[in-house]
Structure 1
Amino acid sequence: MVTARVATLSDSRIKLMRLIESSSRSPSPVDPDNFVLSGTFQRLLGPDDDMPVRLYRVYFDPGGRTNWHRHDDFQLLLGLSGTCSVVDRSGHELTLGVGDLAVIGPDEEHWHGAAPNTRGEHLAINLGLTTIWLESSA
């Protein structure tokens, strides 16, 4: 049997298995410079974790959503509770329910948040390292 391991970071920095307890990553209010209305943001894997992926749990109050933005690589959004909307510049809208997964390509300008008149929560998985924030989506 052949076993292969691919890594983008030096082996001395990689921990092959570890637990990051949710309680060690405190939720905080979303940044009003990048979000419309209120919500909660929990950074589960961020820039300080030496990982080639970013992982964020985001809870949106009714009407809450991100500003327009794009990413340097794929973004995956996994619905956790309520209903979320994902909208691109052409107005194409995806409705994300619990367990649904939205796949957003690199450099696709979009916003996401709670569907109209409801709350929504998703897990954002950013395969790249950079988010470029644009104008308000309100």
Structure 2
Amino acid sequence: MAKNEEEVKNSVFGFGDSNEAYAKFFTGTSYLKGLASSKEAKTSVSNVSFEPGCRNNWHEHTVPQILIAVAGEGWYQEEGKPAQKMLPGDVVIVNPNTKHWHGATKDSWFAHIAIMVGDSKNTWYEPVSDEEYNKLG
């Protein structure tokens, strides 16, 4: 079993299904578990899990996104800034229209809660290159 796999798969937030709908925007396999959503509040809350080495492409949202690390070890990076390691309990607020990516470390599973507030339009960009990614600790 890979590092933190049991912790991620047995999260109190549950473990989702393979994230097929967004697979083309990821390197590796991710899993998505919807936790809550409200059309009236224009808010959604999901648990996203990443296999080791999995990360999403560079992207941005038109509304704020809140990421709360809940299990394993991951990365978050905004364009032009160094990547920051995310461990359970870490919280990142992604400002609107900020190009960024997030995902697992090379050797660990990772899960975060993603909270979207507002009607978001997402713009997807290029994948995080293996060269860039492999430079991270």
TM-score (norm 2): 0.74
Tell me what 1:107 maps to.
97
Q: What's the % identity of the aligned pairs?
A: 25
TM-aligned CA deviation for residue 87 of structure 1: 1.0
1:26-53 C-alpha deviation (Å, 9 max, x unpaired): 822122211110121112235xx41311
Q: 2:36 maps to which residue?
A: 45
Partner in structure 2 of residue 29 of structure 1: 18
**Does 2:119 match 1:133?**
no
| Counterpart AA for 1:52 | K
Within a 5 Å distance, the mapping from 1:1-138 to structure 2 comes to 27-30=16-19, 31-46=22-37, 49-50=38-39, 51-130=41-120, 131-138=122-129
Question: Following the alignment from structure 1 to structure 2, what is the Cα–Cα distance between the partners of residues 69 and 54?
Answer: 18
Whether contact under 8 Å (1:83, 1:97) holds in the other structure is yes
The structure with the larger Rg is 1
Corresponding pairs, count: 113
How much has 1:128 moved relative to structure 2?
2.9
SS class of match (1:132): strand
- Residue ranges of structure 2 left out of the alignment (5+ in a row): 1-12, 130-137
SS of structure 1 residue aligned to 2:75: strand
Conserved in 2, the CA contact under 8 Å of 1:89 and 1:109?
Answer: yes
Residue in 2 that maps onto 1:6: none
Please report how far the alpha carbon of residue 70 of structure 1 lies from its aligned counterpart in structure 2 after TM superposition: 0.5
Aligned residue for 2:127, secondary structure, equals coil
Q: Please list every run of at least 4 consecutive aligned residues from structure 1 whose deviation after the TM superposition is greater than 4 angstroms.
A: none
More helix by share: 2
Q: Is the 8 A contact 1:71 1:128 kept in 2?
A: no
Alpha-carbon deviations, 1:88-132, whole Å to 9, x = none? 221421211111101111101000000232111000011132222
Match of 1:7 in 2: none
